[in-house]
Amino acid sequence: MTAVKSICCIGAGYVGGPTCAVIAYKCHDIKVTIVDVNPARIAAWNSDKLPIYEPGLEDVVLARRGKNLFFSTNVDGAIQEADLIFVSVNTPTKKSGMGAGRAADLAYVESATRRIAQVATSSKIVVEKSTVPCRTAQSMRTILEANSTDKIHFDILSNPEFLAEGTAIDDLLKPDRVLIGALQTPEGIRAQQALADVYGHWVAKESILTTNLWSSELSKLAANAMLAQRISSVNALSAICEATGADVDEVAYACGRDSRLGSKFLKASVGFGGSCFQKDILNLVYLSEQLNLPEVAAYWHQVVIMNEYQKKRFVRNIIKTLFNTITNKKIAVLGFAFKKDTGDTRESAAITLIKDFIQESARVAIYDPKVDRQQIVMDLSEPGVVDTQQQVEKHVQICSSAYEAAKDADAVVLVTEWDEFRDDQLDYAKIYDGMHKPAFLFDGRLLVNAPKLRKMGFKVNVIGKTELAGKA
């Protein structure tokens, strides 16, 4: 196999965009073309305002765009030109049909694979970058092989992506590991090496792991399930802390100091969000059910159940504290993205909480530094809750600062851990002055110094802590 000279990435989303932009940034000898069927998304990638917010992304894109990095809607042309193609399309949870609510919808992966089979005029390495159920590569292979000829051969690799949003560029530049799975045939191993050489431009050899295809596919689901499991574990403990006077930060710290456990992913919260954790765990649950392993399925499913419980528990606590009713009360929600440093709102805990507040007839004022009005309105529109965008606009006020949201509010709820909401950055005395009294503050991110805010007059309620515990 000669060195890869031209890469096409199908799917210009949160993964395809940053991942392939970094490849172009680190491999000036490779032409990288990122394509998408969504012309608005491609136009944004080619504009001054990139379609996603990610620290450091703009510098990487601006450094290489128009040189060896291109964004295009010409999917067929880019496929034909490439020696290696990343398939980085969305794989959402199925909404209907067999496996609805659990299984991954592989329609986009299949359609991209069929397109490759249809238009390729030379041999290609096809790389499964999307997160998919174990053995999806087999289906892709079947489609591609049905279109192979003496002259055109396809190799399939699995190369799951482990970047986290908000730190994507750092994660891509300094990955803990790169995982490449291949069929253990001479051609498969050659293709695996060709992709390893691409990453080898900036990733140390020891950090590039090579496995068989199925291990690679399963490792991606397993890693996400285990990460989310830690959050559900600490969130389950947060309920015990609130009932006993233990402090969840102290418990997490004490546990995390055990080097066998480690300190990361033990931050109690209002519940994990994001496009991946829930989807990928449900995917694993479905896979286990299909393999007739009901105990295994139930085990992983509990991670998602616990996450839903945590969100509901938080809402119940707010209502109870506000004297058992929030009807007509003004609730200021600070943060709408699923975590800080991203404008992504997919599966954000904020959406669940706010829908519950609306159902309780509260007035909700929302502020997030990176999420725009249109996105918030779209996320909150749901048949049966608030049917239309106009109705959403009646229930919620979208604000341009935390101060505006908190003005005349009965409660402030911290949902996303943006740095600007920390008590050394936001003027909480000013917030307090503008609020109805008693002024309640619910910290779903263990972000603020509660004793300090209590001294200002706030009634503070923090996940996993009680006032009686002293340090809460």
- Residues 168 and 449: their CA atoms lie apart, in Å, by 29
- Residues 133 and 218: their CA atoms lie apart, in Å, by 7
Strand order in the sheet with 396-398: 396-398, 363-367, 330-334, 411-414, 440-443, 459-462
- Residues 399 and 228: their CA atoms lie apart, in Å, by 31
Q: Which is nearer to ligand UPG, 131 or 136 (CB)?
A: 131
Helix, strand, or coil (residue 29): coil
Residue 130 binds which entry of ligand NAD, ligand UPG, none, CB below 5-8 Å type-dependent: ligand NAD
Residue with the shortest CB distance to ligand NAD:
13
118 lines the binding site for ligand NAD (CB under 6 A): no
Q: Which is nearer to ligand UPG, 277 or 314 (CB)?
A: 277
Residue type, 340: K
Q: How far is the CB of 102 from ligand UPG (least distance, A)?
A: 17
Q: Choose the stretch contacting ligand NAD; rule: CB under 6 A; options: 9-17, 403-411, 420-428, 437-445.
A: 9-17
- Residues 416 and 163: their CA atoms lie apart, in Å, by 19
Q: Between 158 and 187, how does the x/- string for binding to ligand NAD read (CB under 6 A)?
A: ---x-x-x----------------------
Short-list 385, 328, 390, CA closest to 356: 385
Q: How far is the CB of 149 from ligand UPG (least distance, A)?
A: 36
Residue 75 binds which entry of ligand NAD, ligand UPG, none, CB below 5-8 Å type-dependent: ligand NAD
Residue 14 binds which entry of ligand NAD, ligand UPG, none, CB below 5-8 Å type-dependent: ligand NAD
97-111 CB burial, b ≥16 within 10 A, e <16:
eebeebbbbbebbbe
Helix, strand, or coil (residue 348): coil
Q: How far is the CB of 176 from ligand UPG (least distance, A)?
A: 9
Q: Is 223 part of any known ligand binding site? A: yes
DSSP string computed for 417-467? --GGGSTTTS-HHHHHHHS-SS-EEEESSS-S-HHHHHHHT-EEEETT--G
Please give the structure tokens belonging to residue 34. 């990122």
Q: Between 72 and 101, how does the x/- string for binding to ligand NAD read (CB under 6 A)?
A: ---x------------xxxx----------
Helix, strand, or coil (residue 299): helix
Options 8, 9, 134, 276, the catalytic residue: 276
Which residue in 11, 13, 274, 444 binds ligand UPG (CB under 6 A)? 274
Helix, strand, or coil (residue 268): coil
Residue type, 99: G
Q: Which is nearer to ligand UPG, 19 or 33 (CB)?
A: 19
15 lines the binding site for ligand NAD (CB under 6 A): yes
Three-class SS string for 97-116? CCCCCCCECCHHHHHHHHHH
Please give the structure tokens belonging to residue 418. 């943006």
Q: Which is nearer to ligand NAD, 93 or 461 (CB)?
A: 93
Residues in region 144-203 near ligand UPG by CB under 6 A: 161-165
Q: Which conformational region is residue 303 in: left (phi greater than 0), alpha (psi within -120 to 50 degrees), or beta? A: alpha
Q: Between 249 and 278, how does the x/- string for binding to ligand NAD read (CB under 6 A)?
A: --------------------------xx--
131 lines the binding site for ligand UPG (CB under 6 A): yes
Q: How far is the CB of 130 from ligand NAD (least distance, A)?
A: 3
Q: Which is nearer to ligand UPG, 90 or 113 (CB)?
A: 90
Residue 255 annotated as catalytic: no
Helix, strand, or coil (residue 127): strand
218 lines the binding site for ligand UPG (CB under 6 A): no
Binding positions for NAD(+) are 11-16, 36, 41, 89-93, 130-131, 165, 276-279, 346
Residue ranges that bind ligand UPG, judged by CB under 6 A: 131, 161-165, 224, 227, 231, 265-267, 269, 272-274, 276-277, 338-339
- List residues with catalytic annotation: 276
Binding positions for substrate are 161-165, 220-224, 260, 267-273, 338-339, 445
